[in-house]
């Protein structure tokens, strides 16, 4: 990660095909477009790669989450369970629909704790939204069992874990709906963009309509199309989709590179007895975009994080103090609660999350690093960590 590191001729070729026709919009203009349907083509490729029945491209990952929730008719007053460790897009999408984000602890997987989810369910709960952070997944089997028991929607945010699997299924395809982001720093990028995948035809039609002002996309005259529901504009452009086509083709190569580099780093860090690794649920296979590990205490994690930075090791993240990814710094969301616009239980005791996130450091695995560079980097990291621990 990220996909922009290996951007090249294939992406240019796809974009030029769009520019040659001048049709930058994904719908209509059949006569002008010389049979170029890049968004359609990328949706078909996603359907194939993710082994699902339907895919809907949209303008971003945040849009994908919003469209996915809307497609299942989640709305005003409905409670959606989401993790304390995620990206702000999780609650932005929920709030955009007038629904209520209910924050729930993460465990040693750095994703939703199934036990904590179960405790948070009320008679208003409609959906559970696990976020597969930093390349690895939530315990989907347990979450699905909980969702089945309580008749809740399981919506996977796979924006950071595209290409990983669980029980042999692509992440995003296990739940009722799955979402991807193709923003500029994701494993594959289209500049901006996102996708919703599902096996549910009803959700697929709603997603298609909702993301384009409610257009039913039936017939050849856009102006004469019907509006089946109230929607918005979350369309992707043909230019973005064109880049996405070339990047999706490279996804498996990217993951193979990331796995090799990740393994070098993990083997090196595993020689330090005080270091433990993030738990990957049984049957899960990561996409290896990050290596996440734990130090024995918050204090040591902070020291190691600082020492790594001072030692010139970039792209390692200490999420506990991050403004965008961890609940502690979401003052703008907390303000909603303080003003009475969000129920008080949205911020309760998250000591379980703190136990893990305060001790965690996640290191990005860059596609551009050679094996030699990764080995040197790993050696340097081991030396720095050992010095802090000594
Ligand atoms: C990037 C990201 C999103 C949002 O994607 P955008 O395309 O940037 O809107 C949502 N969830 C997670 C976990 C992400 O990492």
Tokens of 74: 């989640």
Q: Please work out, in degrees rounded to the nearest 5, the angle formed at the alpha carbon of residue 364 by the alpha carbons of 361 and 367.
A: 165
Mean residue pLDDT across the chain: 96
pLDDT of residue 58: 98
pLDDT of residue 187: 96
pLDDT of residue 3: 73
pLDDT for 140 beyond 90: yes
Residue of 66, 87, 196, 325 to test ligand 1 pocket, by largest number of atoms within 8 Å of CB: 87
pLDDT for 213-262, tens place per residue?
A: 999 999 989 999 999 899 999 999 999 999 999 999 999 999 999 999 99
Check: CB of residue 194 under 8 Å from CB of residue 64.
yes
pLDDT of residue 1: 65
State the CB neighbour count (10 A cutoff) for residue 302.
18
**Residue of the nearest CA to atom 5 in ligand 1?**
61
Could you tell me the distance, in angstroms and rounded to a whole number, from the CA of residue 273 to the centre of ligand 1? 34
Percentage of residues in the chain with pLDDT exceeding 70?
Answer: 99
pLDDT for 82-112, tens place per residue?
A: 999 999 999 999 999 999 999 999 999 999 9
pLDDT for 345 beyond 70: no
Residue of 61, 179, 185 to test ligand 1 pocket, by largest number of atoms within 8 Å of CB: 61
Q: List, chain by chain if needed, residues with CB within 6 Å of any ligand 1 atom.
A: 60-62, 86-87, 89, 131, 157, 159-160, 181, 183, 194
Q: Are strands 290-294 and 169-170 parallel, antiparallel or unpaired?
A: unpaired
**Angstrom distance (rounded) from CA 68 to CA 151:** 17
Nearest ligand 1 atom to the CA of 60 is: 7
pLDDT of residue 344: 67
pLDDT for 282-316, tens place per residue?
A: 999 999 999 999 999 999 999 999 999 999 999 99
Could you tell me the distance, in angstroms and rounded to a whole number, from the CA of residue 299 to the centre of ligand 1? 29
Could you tell me the distance, in angstroms and rounded to a whole number, from the CA of residue 150 to the centre of ligand 1? 27
pLDDT of residue 233: 98
Tokens of 173: 């395809």
Q: Which residues are catalytic?
A: 186
pLDDT of residue 153: 98
**Residue of the nearest CA to atom 6 in ligand 1?**
61
Least confident segment among 65-79, 167-181, 330-344: 330-344
């Amino acid at each position: 990660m990220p996909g922009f590191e290996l951007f090249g001729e294939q992406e240019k070729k796809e974009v030029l095909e769009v520019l040659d026709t001048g049709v930058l919009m994904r719908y209509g203009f059949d006569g002008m477009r010389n049979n170029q349907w890049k968004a359609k083509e990328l949706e078909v490729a996603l359907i194939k790669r993710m082994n699902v029945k339907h895919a809907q491209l949209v303008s971003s990952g945040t849009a994908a989450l919003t469209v996915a929730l809307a497609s299942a008719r989640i709305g005003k007053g409905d409670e959606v369970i989401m993790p304390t460790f995620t990206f702000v897009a999780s609650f932005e999408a929920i709030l955009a629909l007038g629904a209520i984000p209910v924050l729930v602890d993460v465990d040693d997987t750095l994703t939703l704790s199934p036990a904590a989810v179960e405790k948070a369910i009320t008679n208003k709960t409609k959906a559970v939204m696990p976020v597969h952070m930093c390349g690895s997944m939530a315990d989907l089997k347990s979450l699905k069992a909980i969702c089945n028991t309580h008749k809740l929607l399981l919506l996977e945010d796979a924006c950071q874990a595209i290409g990983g699997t669980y029980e042999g299924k692509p992440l995003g395809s296990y739940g009722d709906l799955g979402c991807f982001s193709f923003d500029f720093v994701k494993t594959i990028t289209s500049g901006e963009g996102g996708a919703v995948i599902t096996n549910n035809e009803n959700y697929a039609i709603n997603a298609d309509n909702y993301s384009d002002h409610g257009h039913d996309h039936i017939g050849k005259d856009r102006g004469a199309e019907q509006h089946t529901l109230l929607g918005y504009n979350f369309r992707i452009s043909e230019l973005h989709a064109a880049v996405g086509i070339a990047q999706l083709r490279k996804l498996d190569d990217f993951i193979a590179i990331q796995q090799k580099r990740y393994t070098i780093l993990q083997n090196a860090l595993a020689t330090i007895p005080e270091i433990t690794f993030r738990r990957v649920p049984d049957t899960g296979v990561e996409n290896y975009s990050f290596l996440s590990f734990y130090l024995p205490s918050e204090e040591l994690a902070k020291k190691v994080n600082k020492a790594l930075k001072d030692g010139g090791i970039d792209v390692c993240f200490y999420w506990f103090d991050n403004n965008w990814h961890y609940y502690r710094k979401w003052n703008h969301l907390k303000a909603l609660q303080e003003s009475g616009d969000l129920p008080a239980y949205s911020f309760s005791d998250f000591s379980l999350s703190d136990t893990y996130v305060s001790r965690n450091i996640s290191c990005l695995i860059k596609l551009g690093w050679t094996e030699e560079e990764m080995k040197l980097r790993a050696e340097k990291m081991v030396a720095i960590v050992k010095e802090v621990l000594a």
